[in-house]
């Protein structure tokens, strides 16, 4: 991952002179390479269930379980063109972070919650209107398998304010690609994409609860 990022990162930066879609697809090729390498080197692959739930949707807000670095990478390949809510500090990482900064991230300082919500609502709405999906990890940080963290309501507030649908996603990546671990374990990561959650004329707390409940139930099945 590190070696290829040093190669692809500069390519993404060079592509800033071209339309956004060009550098996005260059970065997406890197994601495909990383996942292929994980399969070859670590015997780790993945399966996706529920792709039919996202057909025909122009833009949506994704509320995804957060266990691993895997999903932050893999969703770039699985879902349509997207942006993600992430820590601003990631953009300071040499080369990889600089390239990430060109991919229209919604970068926030988690210590400033009110300011972060304003950024999410403003930029999230603009990106949705551009046709980008907005990926949010409502737990805020990675949770170990079996650990349950409270869902932050920011992504649901964005859904309430904009009326765009919410797509919940569950997975068990933490079992194979653990947080804070160099080792990756062979197996098949299972990713489950849930049915569309409608958001028009609904409160954020309602939306958030429905997404959290669906993900919790899906996690027991995984």
Q: Is the dihedral of CA 25, 30, 35, 39 positive or negative?
A: positive
State residue 96's pLDDT score. 87
* Residue ranges, the chain, pLDDT below 70: none
State residue 160's pLDDT score. 98
Q: Are 67 and 142 in contact (CB under 8 A)?
A: yes
Domains of the chain from N-terminus onward? 2-221 (3.40.1130)
Q: Are 110 and 116 in contact (CB under 8 A)?
A: yes
146/155 Cα distance (integer angstroms) = 23
pLDDT, one tens digit per residue, over 45-104 is 999 999 999 999 999 999 999 999 999 999 999 999 999 999 999 999 888 899 999 999
State residue 148's pLDDT score. 85
The three-class DSSP label of residue 164 is: coil
């Amino acid at each position: 991952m590190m070696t290829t990022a040093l190669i692809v990162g500069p390519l993404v930066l060079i592509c800033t002179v071209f339309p956004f879609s060009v550098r996005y697809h260059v970065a997406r090729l890197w994601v495909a390479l990383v996942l292929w390498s994980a399969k070859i080197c670590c015997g780790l692959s993945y399966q996706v269930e529920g792709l039919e739930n996202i057909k025909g949707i122009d833009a949506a807000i994704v509320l995804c379980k957060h266990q691993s670095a895997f999903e932050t990478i893999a969703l770039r390949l699985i879902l349509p063109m997207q942006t993600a809510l992430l820590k601003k500090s990631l953009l300071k990482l040499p080369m990889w972070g600089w390239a990430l900064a060109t991919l229209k991230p919604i970068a926030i300082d988690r210590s400033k919650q009110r300011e972060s919500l304003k950024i999410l609502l403003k930029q999230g709405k603009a990106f949705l209107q551009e046709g980008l999906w907005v990926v949010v990890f409502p737990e805020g940080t990675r949770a170990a398998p079996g650990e349950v963290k409270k869902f932050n309501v920011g992504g649901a507030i964005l859904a309430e304010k904009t009326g765009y649908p919410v797509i919940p996603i569950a997975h068990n990546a933490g079992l194979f690609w653990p947080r804070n671990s160099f080792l990756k374990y062979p197996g098949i990561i299972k990713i489950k994409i849930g049915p569309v959650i409608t958001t028009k004329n609904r409160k954020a707390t309602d939306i958030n609860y429905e997404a959290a409940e669906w993900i919790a139930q899906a996690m027991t099945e995984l």
